[in-house]
Structure 1
Amino acid sequence: MRSQFRFHNLSNKNMSFADVYHHIETFMKQNPQAQYRLMIGTDSQVHRKFTRFVTGIVIRREGHGVWACLKKHEVKRRIEHLHEKVSTETLLTEEVAQLFTAKRKQKLLQIIMPYIDEGSSFTFEGHLDVGKGQRNKTKIYVEEMMARLKVYGMKARVKPDSFVASSYANRYTK
């Protein structure tokens, strides 16, 4: 199923994960001396007869641009229980994170390795649409969801630092 994932952005439609990985690799090779953050996050929106989930992949060259794409997934029912919704968002982020195998991450690291002494870096982050704030209804799920992403070697981020889920993916759930 995962090999069937299709991604798109404003410039490219119907990309396979191999296409996405190639774009990320090419983006990093353009400036291997930079600091990179590879971020994955999912958000959802409950509609009248279905729930739409959108997972975003963003490679950010700190201070010098981004390349991003997304994948949509719909469940043909309203998911209204908050834990189920947040857990499904995390699951979809995990599924995409698994596509970045150790071998693939190692290839990306090799691009920047010669420039580590000059400040080059690479982080792999999972962005969760949950927050620790007192008024945030998802605060009781933060530790559980963060632990799930850490299993994949990801640095787990929550609101307000989880912009791939809470901003980029959110924009496309409507």
Structure 2
Amino acid sequence: MSFISPTLGTLSLEEMVRNIAAFINEDPQAKYKVVIGTDSHTGSLSTLFVTALIIHRLGKGARFYYQKRSMRKMTDLRHRIYLETELSLKLIDSLKACGLFFVLSEWPIEVHIDIGKQGETRQLIQEVVGWVTSVGYVAKIKPESYGASSVADKFTS
């Protein structure tokens, strides 16, 4: 499982966790927010999923990392939204398993979902937001879901 840091290049999960820990140790008294969001783009042959992880030091900057996965072409929007959400939740589980549990238990974790009150995805809001909140995280939808609709979206092409 590898991630890309715009400043450091390709990192393993363990390297990314160490980099996040170093970022937090630079200012351990600061308040932080963890944002995870996934977006996808379906091309002619496959669907590309990009999951972004943002560690926001409130009022003092942020770091972000992203992961790309190419899967078989998916044209069903509902299925794609569910898979985007599942990939975001799986990343949280991976981070916890890699030793970031202390961070993830102290600060709010927001799962940014690429759905909103406009367009086809509005019918999915209640069930997808319900899923994320039922497992203990804060769910954000458009226009507040910048982790998915801006950061991850930037790398889907």
TM-score by length of 1: 0.82
**1:86 corresponds to which residue?**
81
Deviation at 1:106, TM superposition (A): 4.4
Distance 1:141 1:109, change over 3 A: closer
Instruction: Find the residue that maps to 2:29 and give its secondary structure.
Output: coil
Superposition pairs for residues 4-83 of structure 1, below 5 Å?
5-77=1-73, 79-83=74-78
Deviation at 1:152, TM superposition (A): 3.8
Aligned mate of 1:100, from 95, 99, 104: 95
Aligned mate of 2:111, from 126, 136, 140: 126
* Amino acid paired to 1:158: I
**2:144 corresponds to which residue?**
161
Per-residue CA deviation, residues 104-142 of structure 1 (Å, 9 max, x unaligned), is 4542279xxxxxxxxxx72111110011x2x32111111
Give unpaired runs (5+ residues) of structure 1: 111-120
TM-score by length of 2: 0.90
On the 8 A contact 1:54/1:71 being kept in 2, the answer is yes
Partners of 1:104 and 1:151 lie apart in 2 by 23
Partners of 2:129 and 2:100 lie apart in 1 by 20
Q: Calculate percent identity across the aligned residue pairs.
A: 28
Partners of 1:105 and 1:142 lie apart in 2 by 29
Partners of 1:54 and 1:71 lie apart in 2 by 6
Aligned mate of 1:145, from 128, 142, 145: 128
Partners of 1:109 and 1:157 lie apart in 2 by 17
* Amino acid paired to 1:47: G
